[in-house]
Amino acid sequence: MNAKEPIVKIEHVSFAYDGTLALEDVNLSVPRGDFLGVVGPNGSGKTTLLKIILGLIHPLSGTVRVFGKIPERARHLVGYVPQHAELDYSFPISVMDVVLLGRLSNRSLLGGYRKQDKRLAQEALTMVKTADLCNRRFGTLSGGQKQRVLIARALAGKPELLLLDEPTASVDGRVEEDIYGLLKKLNERVTIILVSHDLGFISTYVRHVACVNRRLSCSRTQDITGDVIDACYNGPVHMLKHKCEL
């Protein structure tokens, strides 16, 4: 694959759940190194779009290529932080064990984790500045610490593309800022697609914004105007903060 080719290329994609369209004629190209914010109202298709990029669900029509391949074939290059972590917090699992789950798809089928898995898990925890928590029980962490560990879990698979679905939905503003700062730093080496309902906030961090409302329109952060947003949300949106850094 040519280095200049987009690493995610979605063309004319539609998707329906039980006959109801959730995405309609969506086109999206994400270049390597991008930090794309995906925004839109509740139920507008943001999570559906991520699941299509992951190959967890398949479009009704249209084509999806991730690193030039069908999504299933590219999954080892993609890290995913789901909207609702499927972890049972009462289960006594350590932070290290949570992050090691991110190595499952790279692991040999025989035997347990190799030394290298542990090293990569440790590195991922260091990247998100939580190495000191590695022996803690996951359930005892704060909301922000949990999110960092879940990001580390996604990073442990050494992804070239990181997908995050509302990673700051359950944390307060200061922690949210910390996490976005961390993602901005990670973006120096990983392409990021971040789903958020909080447009004002993410416009400070991302390079491009895709507004989803069953259909999708994409703009550079600096080109985002009130009209673009209003059209996406079907009405006026209060922008909390908007600073362009490009």
196 binds ligand ADP (CB under 6 A): no
Per CB under 6 A, does 22 bind ligand ADP? yes
**45 near ligand ADP, judged by CB under 6 A:** yes
CA dihedral (100, 162, 199, 6) in degrees, to 10, reads -170
Q: Which range binds ligand ADP by CB under 6 A, 5-13, 17-25, 121-129, 202-210?
A: 17-25
Residue 48 in contact with ligand ADP, rule: CB under 6 A: yes
Binding ligand ADP by CB under 6 A: which of 28, 35, 37, 40?
A: 40
The CB-of-43 to Mg ion minimum distance in angstroms stands at: 8
Q: b/e string for 33-70 if b means 16 or more Cβ within 10 A? A: ebbbbbbbbeebbbbbbbbbbbbeeebeebebbbbeee
Q: Which pair of structure tokens corresponds to residue 13? A: 């994609």
Question: Minimum CB separation from ligand ADP for residue 47, in Å?
Answer: 3
Residue 36 C-beta: closest distance to ligand ADP, Å: 15
Smallest separation, CB 182 to ligand ADP (Å): 22
Q: Which residues bind ligand ADP (CB under 6 A)?
A: 17-18, 22, 40, 42-48
